[in-house]
Chains A and B, each alone.
Chain A
Amino acid sequence: MSHNIYIYILVMAGVSFAIRSLPLTLIQTQIKNRFIQSFLYYVPYVTLAVMTFPAILEATQSRISGGAALVIGVVAAWMGADLFQVALCCCGSVLLLEFFL
């Protein structure tokens, strides 16, 4: 079965907006449950980490340049580079390395 791209986009947009708007419009008091608080706290880091590796190795033409981008990105972010700078470091390292690979 094939799917309609516009319905996909509608689903994405609907879910994205619901996630952002429901707490802001409905929540009037602080969330008390410690497990839910902790779970919500960890979710973003876990999702992003899971999506980053090993996918970054497959994103480039060579696994070596993808791996290098990962290491350099981690180092740059660790040293306090902002979002734009980290992204730039990753792109730059792939560009440079793939001249030689």
Chain B
Amino acid sequence: MNTLSDTTLSSFRQGMRDGTPIGMGYFAVSFSLGITARAAGLTPFQGFLASLLCNASAGEYAAFSLIAVNATYLEVAVITLIANARYLLMSCAMSQRMRPGIPFYHRLFMAFDITDELFGIAIGRPGYLSPAYTYGAMLVAAPCWAFGTAIGALAGSILPLRLVSAFSVALYGMFLAIIIPPARRDRVIAGLILLCFACSFLASCLPFLASVSSGTKTILLTVIISAAAAILFPINNKTKEKSS
């Protein structure tokens, strides 16, 4: 019993340690998300709440962009689903690494903050996933994300335009940091990204698509391109299993 709780405590501490650099990165990036939230009409508190409950960069960003144009709740639900679809995959991967017989509430709590980075450090450890480790990392990283958003929404109005302009691209930098490393390893992904850029650019300037909202365009392009890629380049099970 004593040894068990010692192990739990040390896993928790290890999680907090590993979560610290992640939290610092989150703070900087969520600051930029806060600027988007503010532009969409959210107060700093609403930005804080959204980030605390959603813990998603692309998902929140996409939803905020839709909120900015007064989209329907359904549109916001669909874009959140699409932009966060990768967490579905990560959750699937984590389900294969849970200790048999682990209490149900651990599955729920561990699911709450599945992000690229927290998933990455959790899945990178050998053996069954440790709930204590994940909670330690969450405890550090999640507040950084939420407070960063609030402060971004708050300071976005005080900062000079030049700095706002610079911070606004942090989020895109984060997106690039997620998609580029796999593109380096996998030519199909590299080609897909170029195709996506081209299609997305075309969709933004083709006149007959002008009335379609940008969120809907993102959904359509994602489903069409991903489905085409899945048909043309189906993955081999083991080779593509990676963490982040």
Contact = CB atoms under 8 A, between A and B. Distances in A.
Interface residues of A, number: 77
Interface string B1-38: 00000000000000000000100110011001000000
Contact of B192 (A17, A49, A85): A49
A23 B204 contact: no
Nearest to B129: A24
Contacts of A89: 173
A3 B235 CA distance: 41
A13 B54 CA distance: 5
Contact of A8 (B61, B73, B163, B172): B73
A83 B27 CA distance: 12
Contact of A46 (B87, B98, B165, B196): B196
B208 interface: no
A98 B41 CA distance: 26
B112 A21 contact: yes
Given A49-B200, A50-B200, A87 B108 contact: no
Given A9-B46, A12-B80, A15-B77, A83 B112 contact: no
Nearest to A25: B107
Contacts of B172: 52, 55-56, 59, 69-70, 73, 90
A16 B52 CA distance: 11
B73 A11 contact: yes
Nearest to B171: A87
B165 A37 contact: no
Contacts of A86: 173-174, 176-177, 180
A87 B192 contact: no
A50 B196 contact: yes
Contacts of A94: 165-166, 168-169
B212 interface: no
B211 interface: no
A86 B175 CA distance: 9
A48 to B, nearest CB: 4
Interface of B: 21, 24-25, 28-29, 32, 41-43, 46, 49-50, 53-56, 58-63, 67, 70-73, 76-77, 80-92, 94-96, 98, 104, 107-108, 110-112, 114, 116-117, 161-163, 165-184, 189, 192-193, 196-197, 199-201, 204, 214, 217-218, 221-222, 225-227, 229-231, 233-235, 237, 240
Interface of A: 1-3, 5-9, 11-17, 19-25, 27-28, 30-31, 34-35, 37-56, 59-61, 65-66, 69-70, 73-74, 76-78, 80-92, 94-95, 98-99
